[in-house]
Structure 1
């Protein structure tokens, strides 16, 4: 039986070299309003995401590239049209609209103060009047893990 008692041992400091975070917020859409939302997103510079546009594979992810070719090979042919529809009028699919920001902001909270990079935002229009907003951020390089979880920072 393992011993789960805490022992008085020092813990080695852990540094996060690169931290990319995603925050997903679901929302509801009013019935028959998705076309109006699509028009507004396009007017504000959001692009419709398709796997056919290979120039998008390194646009939204900071220093990372997400291979569209590999994504196509991973998803089965009957699932791909739902997850990655090729046409923004396909209401049965998850229609993703993405916009690059690459802007730096400052977060000041009770326990943490740090800069962060807002990489991009996706608005995903799903079937059944459901939507999701995905926000991608990058934290500063080599941030101490204890800094991220400390209660002593003001």
Structure 2
């Protein structure tokens, strides 16, 4: 049987969309990570990752009108966090998670947009009393005033 008979004819767009990628690292290895490995790879504990996914779920969830199976919300957040936490190239992150370079870029953008939208949930400015207390503590410990 020739190669043409084994595979149906694919247009260039279909060939591009059909590129095989491996999800092995994300689907098989990451689920076995302990907290130290989570911190080493993602710079946060697994419990913090889960909390982040829950808080950003509505902004990061896949759309209903996609052509192919969408990337899960957990995976989208993990891709964005991993890209921010490492110096890895888009291509390397994509290979780890089994997605394209463009998907890594999109996940990073969606994560950053969602974090900026909900920044008040993650970053809080101290009140006057707390700021003075922090400054005094720094001055006492490091002998560096007015920080």
Higher CA-based Rg = 2
Structure having the larger proportion of residues in strand: 1
Structure having the larger proportion of residues in helix: 2
TM-score, L = length of structure 2: 0.29
TM-score, L = length of structure 1: 0.28
- Structure scoring higher RCO (CA < 8 A, sep ≥ 6) equals 1
